[in-house]
Structure 1
């Protein structure tokens, strides 16, 4: 196994990596120094687009471009022109909230969770953006809603409750796009940091990032730990599988809040990392059908 910082971006809160199998690039965001970033592994080229407000997550669109979940709601992003087209702001009545992490289900619907921007109150909920532009909300009552992905059969929806130290598993009806009963999938002890983003691999295992834990944990479908991968950055935020064979794990990290000593010890904090040699493949990134 090899871990390499491929983009030493020193992002405040690097998040939400996705692999674009058509463009052969990794897209990711910096939430708090709001920007959209792109990395091309074949050449090492990078490009960034400043964003008008905090951008929690993005997803690929079937029609090209991206869809994003911003501080002020859902919007389409056209990197070619730089245009941002607002779609809906389901929490305009909650100015203390913002969108955080998200993902696309097997039916092409874009999901994103909200959070209390003060990171204290359980005001975060889940929202589903359908291809026709309609938005449906689901109560979650989580202070920081994080890490959205689905099991291979689509019947389990994983969501991380970061302050609660838990990864939750919802029963999920893919036909109707509705989460049902939820249960505890895994608990992260305080000594291991806090659960952040997550991704499901081709063996139906869940890779969870640990904010403050300097690691990724691979969980079996029953929630038991299969392995832990130590990372050279304390605030690990999310991951995705990419590369031609979907066998490279791209990992985002954050530099926010780290003092000079911590940054000296972990100079690549806030960078985008590539983990190779795992012997494990992921799934292609799903695209929003809208």
Structure 2
């Protein structure tokens, strides 16, 4: 989930060089991923689209929820083989109104999961054969066997529950040791979890309540980037959390991420 609703997509951000460029896309942006050619693939309000990195051009590919105008696309990510998965949620928060879709190498779109309330974090095990997934209000991380050859997922199982005191599980990534990092909405933290035992191993506390997603970056994938939200805060909470909605980075966080996958198509 993005830190806050936005009508822009970043086309080139270089923290060391402090280079930051934007394109106006005039649409809600749920998630973006990088394509093999350097452009973006994005879940926009109007559907799954290519966004040109150099000029912001938009090419609509699929809108699998065109018949569901009450829905919007939310979190999305590429699997290890370069397919794009994007989930949805209802604008009015209706339960089980969302879905999870997969865009394959041939640009064909299929629905992988239905009856999702708030499609959020996704991560794959280091061997790519296990898919971890978060439907936020369930307070759990689900796990599926994943067929890397086809992108098909097996039956759902529960990997582990998230205690409510930790905050709602939102965006998610995985490190090179196979441990999951979860951003906790209303939890003031990003926490590291063992997906086999369900043990909370570590956490970074943040000065904001609504922590929304996390990913590893930097030259050696040892910097942890964290997004947050300010939506829904009252005036008092805004005063108490002046950094709400910010993008944070923990440099050399002590852990290392996995090399990110990019979208590949024929």
Provide the residue aligned with 1:21 in structure 2: none
- Please, what TM-score do these two structures have when normalized by structure 2? 0.94
**Contact 2:75 / 2:171 at 8 angstroms: preserved in 1?**
yes
**Contact 2:23 / 2:55 at 8 angstroms: preserved in 1?**
no
Of 203, 214, 235 in structure 1, the residue corresponding to residue 177 of structure 2 is 203
Provide the residue aligned with 2:7 in structure 1: 34
Shift of 1:114: 1.2
Partner Cα distance (1:268, 1:48) in 2: 21
Provide the residue aligned with 2:57 in structure 1: 83
**Contact 2:230 / 2:244 at 8 angstroms: preserved in 1?**
yes
RMSD: 1.5
Q: Choose between structure 1 and 2: higher strand proportion.
A: 1
- Which deviates the most, 253-262 or 239-248? 253-262
**Runs (4+) off by over 6 Å:** none
Of 115, 123, 133 in structure 2, the residue corresponding to residue 159 of structure 1 is 133
Shift of 1:121: 2.1
Provide the residue aligned with 2:121 in structure 1: 147
Shift of 1:100: 0.6
Figure out how many residues of one structure are paired with residues of the other and give that number.
Answer: 263
Query: 1:208-287 to 2 correspondence within 5 Å?
Result: 208-222=182-196, 223-287=198-262
Shift of 1:63: 1.4
Provide the residue aligned with 2:35 in structure 1: 61
Partner Cα distance (2:18, 2:107) in 1: 35
Specify the SS of the correspondent of 2:137.
coil
Is there any run of 5+ residues in structure 1 with no aligned partner, and where? Answer: 1-12, 16-29
- Please, what TM-score do these two structures have when normalized by structure 1? 0.86
Looking at both structures, which has the greater relative contact order when contacts are Cα pairs under 8 Å and sequence separation is at least 6?
Answer: 1
Specify the SS of the correspondent of 1:180.
coil
Partner Cα distance (1:178, 1:14) in 2: 26
Provide the residue aligned with 1:170 in structure 2: 144
